Every structure is written in structure tokens, then in C-alpha cells.
Amino acid sequence: MLVEPDRRALSAITELVETGRLKVHVDAVFPLADAFSAHALGETGRVTGKLVLTVDRPDVLPAPSHANGTSAS
């Protein structure tokens, strides 16, 4: 599903996520400083979910992740 980032579309996506009708599979989470490794993993063609880059911000709680950037599968 592709949408433009407008309020109505984002509200619809929010509702899908909150009701459990849309689920995103996160394969691995990397700190922004390790973007090279995330890109390298993506290039292997063996990723089954999304790769997430996090920004170290003290005002944001960390996302659930695999601390070493490995897949849960």
C-alpha cells in the first residue's frame, strides 16, 4: 500500500495499525551510526521485513530491536 503523507491517509493507516489489521514485520533495528551495516544486510536479499534506523534521542523511547542488528528468524 502506497500513500501520500497527508492527514487523512495517515489517520487511516493509524486506524489499521491500532485495530491490528496492519502489521509491519521489522527484521532488524540499527543505530543511525551503523547505517552501512543495515544497507549491507538489505543488499544481501535475505531480509524478510523492514530494516529500521534509529536516531539516538533522549526524548524518544527506544524501539523494540535486536541490539546486534540480527534477524529474529
**Residue 55, CA distances (Å) to 1, 6, 19, 21, 39 in order:** 26, 24, 27, 28, 16
Quick check: is 10 in a domain? no
Quick check: is 53 in a domain? yes
- 10-41 pLDDT tens trace: 899 899 989 999 988 999 999 999 999 999 99
Quick check: is 3 in a domain? no
Quick check: is 32 in a domain? yes
The mean predicted confidence, pLDDT, of the chain is: 82
**How many domains is the chain partitioned into structurally?**
1
The per-residue pLDDT for 66 is 56
The per-residue pLDDT for 13 is 87
Q: Could you tell me the residue range of the domain that residue 48 belongs to?
A: 24-73
Beta carbons of 24 and 50 less than 8 angstroms apart: yes
Name the residue with higher pLDDT: 44 or 1.
44
Quick check: is 6 in a domain? no
